[in-house]
Structure 1
């Protein structure tokens, strides 16, 4: 029996991710590799007494008054506007950018993609702007770990480059296949940033074609030990994954109970689609962090799903050559983006509720970047994942329409991350 039509469409749309895992010279090396507002000095004003009374009205706390009078900004809904502000770094200033996302150095001729700013829909809310000194001050003496797939690494490298404008980091560790695990230290602030590769977040065994195993095996009741074992040394976790769940996989739950698979027509097992698989993996990961840190002042952030912008078929050298963002209404977000985003938002909400029920201190939030990245088809490396890609002609040139140029739109993720952390500290 064949796949339902809508499932076939979704799987075909996600196939670029499979392509990156199968073609060695394409995106095989794209691997993966957070509180709050600095103190604003607000004087507490003593209210004047009236002639009719000697009593003194208690002062209004400056921070509370500030928050009460300001809108609670939604930084996740808005549009892109042109700006003349230059990027905070370039292709050579931070020495950390993975070569395949260094669009400047690889010869991308246009620069217009660098001059766009994300503007929240509520015009009372300012555009998020990254301030490296403020960010470092907030996370002083803390350890942030980006856990997930290659987009987690992409965001981490953006953050390191942004922070490098205020303080110099030192790479103190790198290991694992293709340097999937790396660590930097900003000694001036005693800040540590790490990348921990975990494409499924939970325990998993990758397929092994040489042994005739064409599917992955995932255990939803067990977090991946490679990041879970590091939690005691981590203060802020940023999860970002979702793209690898399209691959064939068999799923197990508690006590190694078989839950199903995502290729039932071939394996005669109960179908469990990749939306549900992603949701279960994220739920297990959030429960692990919550269980261990619920009474602490630590934090966990979940970045929502972002999709590729291939025009044309990915397997026929589809491209992403646009030089400007989409305007609202130009294109419609598909069910894939909506459902993967919804899963992350709902799992975060459940985790927040669990913390509140026991009056815990752990802070949990969603970094909802789905819409702002959906509107930026111009922000990918495209053919400039390699230096001078058209040196031998334009035929058969591979494009990367999933990851993001550095500098580029992904820097806005970290500007909004800073706003989220400011809010947490103020509240």
Structure 2
């Protein structure tokens, strides 16, 4: 029996034995199959030709993607790293809206895109390092939303969108602050040429010849027609004409060869004592002396009225100018940017903090919250009004700005502030450049790209 089993096993083994040549061929075929399987696992489908590859975004997004560059790592409190190519970041932002209002400032060792001492567009009072500020830690923070990412600013992408367009920043000195930030950011990619200005630089216009792109600044702190308070000239109150527009900028909105996109910023001047006019008469007053015998009126209500009328008129003028035009018109409104004076601003109050507030460390004040709310609500109402000629967007920066007490010029709004002795006036309202205001323009770019 044992002999039979051995014979059976020998016969089966003989069937499994292959000639040496066949064995080599078998091994070679096995190796080729393994390589093929590995290729399929790594690259399961060959790339389609450019003419037939499915589009992952609308053509206007593809045209405006920034050029490839090294991904910028994000370091959160848990030291985890996040990175994504700029193209993927822009596509993600265009595909899904991001809530930029909820987040925190995180350390960022990367240098800013421009130098505060060499960008000659900056108004003297915002050039903190040129004025003697040596502690530049305020430039090494980045805003990180909680549930999404805010891509780094791409000058190339912004200039591609701005090609053959005219963008205007309209409003108060914070509008000018944001406009100068944008110009310095863009100048890192293409040199602008100053082509027009007034005596006190409240109106300026630049052209990027390479792109036929124009950026202007219009001084209009009340948005509607008004005369600003001037203690030097003996004018104690703002005069607001609530039923008239400031045609210095409004007349250039959306007309032939005029402004294609407007970025508005206003709020702080509405808190100043003011007299309100409508229909040729005085209808109210904020903070006026009792002897004037005017009805005390909430400046918050007046601010809402001015914002609403401005957006409504912009929509109307956009419709009137929209016949035969395919390009989108844009009105973006930057929400209220809080100050950080620790005391009375006119008595030398400082803003001494050297780091951002942590999330939950500071609560937004009532007035700041209401000013923000008014802009957000009125922009949403304008967007929902059914006008297809103009796109409206709120650049909601109030929370992220409120958490940055360290980003203001403080005493360095003039050169060598301590050289002469005496009381030093601090600026805890405007922003050093570079600084937190550059983040406003990061959000502006993503708002533009996300149609």
TM range (shorter): 0.7 to 0.9
Q: Are positions 1:196 and 2:218 aligned together? A: yes
Q: Are positions 1:366 and 2:360 aligned together? A: no
Shift of 1:388: 1.6
Shift of 1:262: 1.3
How many angstroms apart in 1 are the aligned matches of 2:49 and 2:426? Answer: 51
Shift of 1:165: 0.7
Alignment partner, residue 414 of structure 1: 441
Residues 259 and 169 (structure 1 numbering): CA distance in 2 closer, same or farther, change over 3 Å? same
Higher RCO (CA-CA < 8 Å; seq separation 6+): 1
How many angstroms apart in 2 are the aligned matches of 1:263 and 1:116? Answer: 38
Residues 107 and 288 (structure 1 numbering): CA distance in 2 closer, same or farther, change over 3 Å? same
How many angstroms apart in 2 are the aligned matches of 1:185 and 1:204? Answer: 29
Alignment partner, residue 91 of structure 1: 116
Alignment partner, residue 269 of structure 1: 294
Alignment partner, residue 27 of structure 2: none
Alignment partner, residue 144 of structure 1: 167
Residues 213 and 406 (structure 1 numbering): CA distance in 2 closer, same or farther, change over 3 Å? closer
Say which of 240, 245, 270 aligns to 2:265: 240
Shift of 1:213: 5.4
Alignment partner, residue 346 of structure 2: 315
Say which of 165, 171, 179 aligns to 1:156: 179
Residues 226 and 391 (structure 1 numbering): CA distance in 2 closer, same or farther, change over 3 Å? same
Mind listing any 5+ residue stretches in structure 2 that lack a counterpart?
Answer: 1-47, 59-90
Alignment partner, residue 284 of structure 2: 260
How many angstroms apart in 2 are the aligned matches of 1:210 and 1:63? Answer: 55
Residues 252 and 304 (structure 1 numbering): CA distance in 2 closer, same or farther, change over 3 Å? same
Shift of 1:286: 0.9
1:22-421 map, 5 Å: 62-63=56-57, 71-122=96-147, 125-176=148-199, 178-207=200-229, 214-231=236-253, 232=255, 233-253=258-278, 255-256=279-280, 258-263=282-287, 265-294=290-319, 295=322, 297-354=328-385, 356=386, 358=387, 360-393=388-421, 395-421=422-448
Alignment partner, residue 25 of structure 1: none
Shift of 1:249: 1.8
Alignment partner, residue 79 of structure 2: none
Shift of 1:126: 1.9
Q: TM-score, normalised by structure 2?
A: 0.75
Residues 238 and 83 (structure 1 numbering): CA distance in 2 closer, same or farther, change over 3 Å? same
Shift of 1:365: 0.2
Shift of 1:312: 2.8
How many angstroms apart in 2 are the aligned matches of 1:230 and 1:280? Answer: 22
Contact 1:324–1:376, Cα closer than 8 Å, also in 2: yes
Shift of 1:127: 2.8
> For 1:343-389, what per-residue CA distance to the aligned partner results, in whole angstroms no more than 9, with x for missing partners?
111111111111x2x5x131100011101110000000001111121
Residues 322 and 361 (structure 1 numbering): CA distance in 2 closer, same or farther, change over 3 Å? same
Please state whether the residue corresponding to 1:301 is helix, strand or coil: strand
Shift of 1:392: 3.5
Mind listing any 5+ residue stretches in structure 1 that lack a counterpart?
Answer: 1-40, 47-58
How many angstroms apart in 1 are the aligned matches of 2:347 and 2:124? Answer: 24
Residues 414 and 207 (structure 1 numbering): CA distance in 2 closer, same or farther, change over 3 Å? closer
How many angstroms apart in 2 are the aligned matches of 1:225 and 1:258? Answer: 21
Contact 1:222–1:284, Cα closer than 8 Å, also in 2: no
> For 1:243-287, what per-residue CA distance to the aligned partner results, in whole angstroms no more than 9, with x for missing partners?
11122222123x335432213644333322111111111112111
Please state whether the residue corresponding to 2:384 is helix, strand or coil: helix
Shift of 1:313: 2.9
How many angstroms apart in 1 are the aligned matches of 2:340 and 2:311? Answer: 29
Contact 2:94–2:449, Cα closer than 8 Å, also in 1: no
How many angstroms apart in 2 are the aligned matches of 1:42 and 1:417? Answer: 35
Residues 384 and 208 (structure 1 numbering): CA distance in 2 closer, same or farther, change over 3 Å? closer
Residues 42 and 298 (structure 1 numbering): CA distance in 2 closer, same or farther, change over 3 Å? farther
Bigger Rg, which one: 2
How many angstroms apart in 2 are the aligned matches of 1:199 and 1:93? Answer: 28
Q: TM-score, normalised by structure 1?
A: 0.80
Aligned-residue CA RMSD (Å) = 2.5
Q: How many residue pairs end up in the alignment? A: 363
Residues 316 and 71 (structure 1 numbering): CA distance in 2 closer, same or farther, change over 3 Å? same
Alignment partner, residue 50 of structure 1: none
Residues 162 and 251 (structure 1 numbering): CA distance in 2 closer, same or farther, change over 3 Å? same
